[in-house]
Every structure is written in structure tokens, then in C-alpha cells.
Amino acid sequence: MPGVKVSVLLPAAGSGERIGRGPKAFLEVGGKTLLDWALEGFAWADERVVALPPERSLETPGIKTVLGGQTRQQSVFNLVQAATGEIVLVHDVARPFVVRAAVERLLEAVRTSGAATLAVPVPDTLVQEASGEYGAVIPREHHRLVQTPQGFRRELLWKAHLKARAEGQEFTDDAQLVRWLGHPVALVEGDRRMFKITYPEDLLLAEGLARVWNS
């Protein structure tokens, strides 16, 4: 639907505990911050809104900012509240490599179904851990690893956030929240380059990818 305004919401307020080098959004890969990678990856959007940690600010012109919350969900709540687009895409700043073709697939699904997320197949054998032992194997062909961006009609996501807040429910992503509200969320083929930087070694992978990103 050309003409429908798209807001990109970037939660960037996490403290990056597992890497242990301060707020992750401000770590550099390939000479620029993860936040700048994400902002550039969505330069085409009608609106970009960033949730920042306290005591951080952003000088980039044309970008709206809000204060992040204690949890990712609280940060996204503040972002949705500030958004004006009919469609919102929520994207973790910890995923700096934005693959345009995957985002286009997602947008198409959001336009038709109102809620969708990128997801990728599980490449490894997936097993339950039971006291350090190899437990039951989970059929990986029936499972997906969920990525971002996740896209929604803004009013639907807002309704889900309001209800979750009122009932004290916390979720790790927005697709869960919308599904919990009772609305189906379409799974759209993601891209493994959109991996999340979570552990120190992920930064090494990101440095390698950054080197070839523009070629």
C-alpha cells in the first residue's frame, strides 16, 4: 500500500549485560555504532523513533527519541506511544544488518495480515537440557528462531501493549504480545545476516560482515 505511513521503532535502551561493555547500541562495528547501522538500514522509513537509555542523547537530525524503560517491553511501549505511522516496524538495534529484501517481505505480510515477524529455521539439532544431560530432541523442522523487525498495524500493537501493562504481563518480543491478545502473527522468511549481537563473540562476526556489507 504505497501512501501508508511506516514508522520504524528502535529499542536501543538495553544495558548490554551479556557483553559487558556498556549500552550495546553505542558499541561500534565497522566504524559506526549499532544504532547508526540500524538508523541507516531504515533510512527510507517515514518516521524513525529510538528508545534511549537514560543519560544518552542523539544528535542525528530528523530522528525522534523517547526514554527507554526497565525492560524491552517498556521501551517499546514508549516507542509505540510516540509513533504516528499506520504501520510500525519494531527492530532491535542489536541487529545492525538490515536486509532490505527481508524487510520488504515482512511489510507485504503486515499489509495483508496486520501482524508479522521475520523468523529463520533452526540450523542445529535442538535438544532439551536436563541436569547437563542430553534430553529429548525437539523436531527442529517445526521450530523457528524469531528475528526482528516485527511489523504490526499500530493500533493493534498499542492495544496489546495497553492490555499487557494493565495485566502485568511481560514478553520478550512484540509478536508474543500480539498473539497473546488473540491476533495471529504471520511468520515471514528472515535472513541469517540479521542475527542479534548478544555475546562478545558476536561482535567478531559482525566485524567480519561489516567489512563486506557494502560490496
Residue nearest ligand CTP by beta-carbon distance: 14
Residue nearest Mg ion by beta-carbon distance: 14
Residue 210 CB, shortest distance to ligand CTP, in Å, is 17
Nearest to 117 by CA among 175, 161, 171, 160: 175
Return residues touching ligand CTP (CB under 6 A).
11-18, 24-25, 51, 68-72, 75, 92-94, 196, 198
**Per-residue contact track with Mg ion, 3 to 42, x per CB under 5 A?**
-----------x----------------------------
Interaction partner, residue 36 (ligand CTP, Mg ion, none; CB < 5-8 Å by kind)? none
Helix axes 174-181, 154-167, angle to 10 degrees: 80
Q: Where are the alpha helices (DSSP H) in the chain?
A: 34-41, 72-82, 100-113, 154-167, 174-181, 200-212
How many residues of this chain interact with Mg ion, rule: CB under 5 A?
A: 1
Interaction partner, residue 183 (Mg ion, ligand CTP, none; CB < 5-8 Å by kind)? none
Interaction partner, residue 161 (ligand CTP, Mg ion, none; CB < 5-8 Å by kind)? none
* Cis ω before 149 (30° cut-off from 0): yes
3-class DSSP assignment, residue 138: strand
Instruction: Please identify, using beta-carbon distances, which residue of 69 and 108 lies nearer to ligand CTP.
Output: 69
Residue 16 CB, shortest distance to ligand CTP, in Å, is 4
Residue 130, phi then psi, degrees to nearest 5: -130, 105
Q: Would you say how long the chain is, in residues?
A: 215
User: Which pairing describes strands 47-52 and 6-11: parallel, antiparallel, or unpaired?
Assistant: parallel
Interface residue list for Mg ion (CB under 5 A): 14
